[in-house]
A and B are shown apart, each in its own frame.
Chain A
Amino acid sequence: NAGVMQNPRHLVRRRGQEARLRCSPMKGHSHVYWYRQLPEEGLKFMVYLQKENIIDESGMPKERFSAEFPKEGPSILRIQQVVRGDSAAYFCASSSTSGRINEQFFGPGTRLTVL
């Protein structure tokens, strides 16, 4: 059973470009979470999605960031017009439920570097 997959593992962008990060959840999981880890900091929640729905985006920056989880295909975290402060590791996690018993499995992360 393949784990959570993220690609690319490393992404380099110049300021002003767009970054697209992909996450394929574990088989059978329909809940996806995105977290960001800035240098020297812990992981910070960004957004929680189910298929075709954004459930909680309380951690998303108001501008330039968006996320989707279509009916078919991976979840996408999109960052428009990247700035140097967006350089971070972006982790995706998935779970089979959001209820009382909720265990999240993490992917390997995408390390975004903005030049």
Chain B
Amino acid sequence: AQSVSQHNHHVILSEAASLELGCNYSYGGTVNLFWYVQYPGQHLQLLLKYFSGDPLVKGIKGFEAEFIKSKFSFNLRKPSVQWSDTAEYFCAVNALDNQGGKLIFGQGTELSVKP
């Protein structure tokens, strides 16, 4: 069965620290990859997505992610976090031989940024 694993359940950083959140998936075929963010009390918003092409993807708010096919990974990075980045982050995969486009989500990483 397809699955997505996020290595860190809770990350605590100080402002200006660098961030890297790990995401690995298990599926051998072609995939679309996503990172979503959920700010406290709000709904999921798309941070960035990978469909094809350049494996280094830039998203909103200074986030980027790199797709490494050989490692089945799609790690999220940001060089310098801000207090406003405090949120829960979800990695998601859409395996393209699925019937339709259902997303398989990781369990989420809660990021707390200290001012």
Chain A residues with CB under 8 Å of chain B are 31, 33, 35, 41-45, 48, 55-56, 58-59, 91, 93, 95, 97-109
- A42: min CB distance to chain B, Å: 4
| Total A-B Cβ pairs within 8 A | 67
Is B63 positioned at the interface, with any CB of A under 8 Å from its CB?
no
Establish whether residues B43 and A44, one from each chain, have CB atoms under 8 Å apart when the complex forms. no
With A100-B51, A106-B43 known to touch, is A45 a contact of B99 (CB < 8 Å)? no
Q: Using Cβ atoms and an 8 Å threshold, which residues of chain B touch A108?
A: 42-43
Closest CB in chain A relative to B111 CB, distance in Å? 15
The one of B6, B44, B99 in contact with A106, judged by C-beta atoms closer than 8 angstroms, is B44
Whether A42 and B101, one on each chain, are in contact in the complex, defined by CB atoms closer than 8 angstroms, is: no
In whole angstroms, how far apart are the Cα atoms of A55 and B101 in the complex? 10
- A102 contact set on B, CB distance < 8 A: 32, 94, 101
Whether the pair A98, B101 counts as a contact (CB closer than 8 A) is yes
Residue from B43, B49, B94, B101 in contact with A31 in the complex, judged by beta carbons closer than 8 Å = B101
A58 to B100: give the CA distance in the assembly, Å. Answer: 12
Q: Are A31 and B100 in contact (CB under 8 A)?
A: yes
Q: In the bound complex, how far is the Cα of B42 from the Cα of A106, in angstroms?
A: 10
User: Are B100 and A56 interface neighbours, CB within 8 A?
Assistant: yes
Q: In the complex the two chains form, is B44's CB within 8 Å of A45's CB?
A: no
